[in-house]
Amino acid sequence: MSDDKKIIKFVRPSKKADEIREECLNEALNIMKEHIEAEPMENTTKEEKPKRQRKSKVGKNISQIINGNGNVQVGVLNINETKKTPKPAPAPFPPGTIGANATLKQRIARLSKDLAQRRIDFDPSKNFGASQRITLNKLGLSKSENFTTIWHMPESEGARIVKQIERMIDNTYSGRNERASQKDDYEHNKKNLFRLEREYLAKLGYEPKSPEVVAYMQEKFGTTSRSKLSLAEFRTWVAHWRDMLKQIYGENF
């Protein structure tokens, strides 16, 4: 061959290029691993804070923090505490007084309330306090005193006080009407007749609309309506039931 011709000799590589690249990559990874083990990299990621629980402070200030669904709500409620001092139990009444006798005390209180209500019904301008002042005055006590003054009076005065209040009740307008209405010859108005009819029938086990009562009214007066009865007929009707009670229970039914 001529010297001008170059001889090209192809040398077959011992390793493929892919294997060389893989070795280089593995070597780089090993170096990085050794570096990480020697000096751990600082964790730059922000640590997630634990969610705060709902707090409730009991006292003068109440704070609530609610964290849910990514929304945070904070509320503050101010409460002014008021401590109530329990009322002391009332001191017992001394032995031998009206207040120490529960039965006598309740009876006087009930009569006084009944008397006051009757006075108010007759004269609405009066009130319970005014009635009690009148009662105190008639019992010989000062109007300026409290009605509870009676509870401190001697128990022996109880019977007198009861009789006096009962006498006051009898002398009211309604009391006089009640006493008069107990007489057989008393001529009641229609309002009282309706009331007496209900009372008499109830003691006999009937009601104004009971079939036996309605049938008897139809038989006696030819009607079942009390509004169609004259005042004299209504009095006769009520007197019939009163006479029946007298036959069963006597005069003091």
pLDDT tens digits for 20-56? 677 777 777 777 777 666 655 555 455 555 556 555 4
- Are 119 and 131 contacting, i.e. CB atoms less than 8 angstroms apart? yes
The tokens for 118 are: 């009757």
pLDDT exceeds 50 at position 2: no
Q: Are 253 and 203 in contact (CB under 8 A)?
A: yes
pLDDT for residue 222: 93
- Predicted confidence at residue 156, as pLDDT, reads 94
- Torsion sign (Cα): 33, 38, 43, 47: positive
pTM: 0.44
Tell me which residue of 156, 252, 236 sits closest to 203, measured CA to CA.
252
Structure confidence at residue 183 as a pLDDT band (50, 70, 90): low
Tell me, what DSSP letter sits at residue 8? P
Strand partners, 82: none
Q: What pLDDT shows up at residue 8?
A: 46
pLDDT tens digits for range 186-230: 677 788 888 889 999 999 999 999 999 999 999 999 999 998 999
Please report the DSSP string for 120-132 in residue order: HHH-TT--HHHHH
Residue 249: per-residue pLDDT: 84
Report whether pLDDT(166) > 90: yes
